[in-house]
Amino acid sequence: MPEKTQFGVIVTDRVAQVHEHPLRPLRPTEVLIENQSCNICTTDYQQWMGLRPQQPKPMAFGHENSGVVIEAGSEVENVRVGDHVVINNYHPCMECEDCRKGRNSVFCKFRQSVRTRPADAYGYFGNYGCARYQIAKSKHLFRVDPQVPFEIAGLAEPLSTVVHGVKRLRLRTGEKLLVLGSGTMGNLNAQVARYFGAEVTLSDVSEKKLRTARRLGFDRTLNAGDPDYFEKARALTGGAGFDIIIVAVGLTEAYNQAMEMIADGGKLLIFAAGYPKPGWNVDPNAVHYKLWEIIGTFGCATEDFQDAVGLLNGRKIDLSPLIEERIPLEQIQQAFEKASTPDAFRIAVLLGGS
């Protein structure tokens, strides 16, 4: 067992560094993972930018990581040394009533999130996903096909939240669905919704993001900066509006656009949080008379994580265009600078080769 680990830390606003501390011995139900990659998520780079003051610092950030099991405690049964794994960093207890009912892990009363968990013995908050070595409970691990690249496997976590949201929509085949925001999360939403049978349109102000969508076979894309945007959107639905709109960007404009383009009886999925908090004027009478459904989503249930891993292992969707760049841990500050540029997809921090 290695004696120490290096990990990425958000130290203060706009400052990320590599820190190091000793590794403690494994408990019987724990494993030691040698992480190979960790993607920088919106949550991470927005904290780095200073937009999420509710997330404590110093933050040993990272939850889109993947790696290889290199040691397993004496009572571990579900994974073996050599397995490629991803970790459910929501840390559901798996034993309480809510977990056993298959509810979203955020309802588990015995889970501690990065916001509620106190600092560890070394003074850090967070999941240590962006660490070369990470100790995890075996019950939170999912085995990934070794053919799936590590940085793609790391997308299992965001993918699981998308699977959760799309399930909440109770999609029917052929429903016309619009995704507002075509970055990593919008693209994942579009791919999962298409897999479940929706006729998907993507929208964004970034031509680069729309190009990526088209490359993945989405021929219905809308540039939200186009002066004829609403007209073109209406034309795609024969004037009726979209049956379903997924808001995958936390901006006031996106919410207002959604209310312009949703069909009577339509469903609106609020996938993205926005910082600063978006404003939104919703007419309750319109919700009433037009029978709109406004659905929130965040996090996932354990079964969604398993389904997401199934999508990855079965090559059901193509996530390779969503990795913008691979940057080694030593350059963690540059990785955050890249990740926080508006046009970027995911930046993968490479953790192997210590």
Q: Which residues lie closer than 8 Å to 156 by C-beta, 6 or more apart?
A: 64, 66, 86, 142, 144, 305, 308, 309, 312
Least gap, CB of 109 to Zn ion (angstroms):
7
Q: Which is nearer to Zn ion, 262 or 312 (CB)?
A: 312
Q: Which stretch binds Zn ion (CB under 5 A): 81-89, 102-110, 117-125, 307-315?
A: 102-110
Which pair of structure tokens corresponds to residue 341?
């540029």
Contact 251, 274 (CB under 8 A): yes
Residues between 275 and 304 with contacts to Zn ion, criterion CB under 5 A: none
d(CA 94, CA 111): 9
Contact range with Zn ion by CB under 5 A, out of 52-60, 109-117, 144-152, 208-216? 109-117
Cβ atoms within 10 Å, residue 48: 27
Q: Assess 106 for contact with Zn ion (CB under 5 A).
A: no
Out of 5, 35, 37, 43, the residue judged to bind Zn ion by CB under 5 A: 43
Query: What interhelical angle do 184-195 and 207-215 show, nearest 10?
Result: 30
Task: State in angstroms the smallest separation of the CB of 161 from Zn ion.
Answer: 8
Task: Name the nearest CA neighbour of 342 among 171, 232, 208.
Answer: 208
Contact characters 194-233, Zn ion, x per CB under 5 A: ----------------------------------------
Identify the DSSP state of 271.
-
Q: Which is nearer to Zn ion, 58 or 158 (CB)?
A: 158
Contact pick of 16, 40, 41, 263 for Zn ion (by CB under 5 A) = 41
Residue 55 to residue 57: CA distance in whole angstroms: 7
Q: Which stretch binds Zn ion (CB under 5 A): 22-30, 106-114, 178-186, 263-271?
A: 106-114
Q: Which of 11, 93, 119, 294 binds Zn ion (CB under 5 A)?
A: 93
By CB under 5 A, is residue 108 in contact with Zn ion?
Answer: yes
DSSP three-state, residue 63: coil
Minimal CA–CA distance to 132: which of 23, 34, 58? Answer: 34
Give me the half-sphere count of Cα atoms (radius 13 Å) on the Cβ side of residue 344.
Answer: 19
- 189/221 with CB nearer Zn ion: 189
Q: Is 245 helix (H, G, I), strand (E, B) or coil?
A: strand
- Interacting span for Zn ion (CB under 5 A) from 54-62, 110-118, 173-181, 316-324: 110-118
The helix/strand count (H/E) of the chain reads as 11, 15
Q: How many other CB atoms sit within 10 Å of the CB of residue 32?
A: 22
Residue 222's DSSP bridge partners are 203
Among the listed ranges 16-24, 34-42, 199-207, 212-220, the one in contact with Zn ion (CB under 5 A) is: 34-42
**Least CB distance to Zn ion at residue 158 (A):** 6
Q: Is 160 in the site for Zn ion (CB under 5 A)?
A: no
Indicate the residue among 95 and 264 with the shorter CB distance to Zn ion. Answer: 95
Q: Which range, of 84-92, 190-198, 300-308, 324-332, touches Zn ion by CB under 5 A? A: 84-92
Residues in the chain: 354
Q: What is residue 119's DSSP assignment? A: P
Stretch in the footprint of Zn ion (CB under 5 A) among 103-111, 141-149, 207-215, 289-297: 103-111
**End-to-end Cα, the chain, rounded Å:** 14
Site for Zn ion (CB under 5 A): how many residues?
Answer: 8
- Decide if 129 contacts 8 (C-beta within 8 A): no
Site membership for Zn ion, residue 96 (CB under 5 A): yes
Considering only 76, 99, 193, 202, the residue that binds Zn ion (CB under 5 A) is: 99
Our CB check for Zn ion shows the closer of 45 and 218 to be 45
Would you tell me which residues interact with Zn ion (CB under 5 A)? 41, 43, 92-93, 96, 99, 108, 110
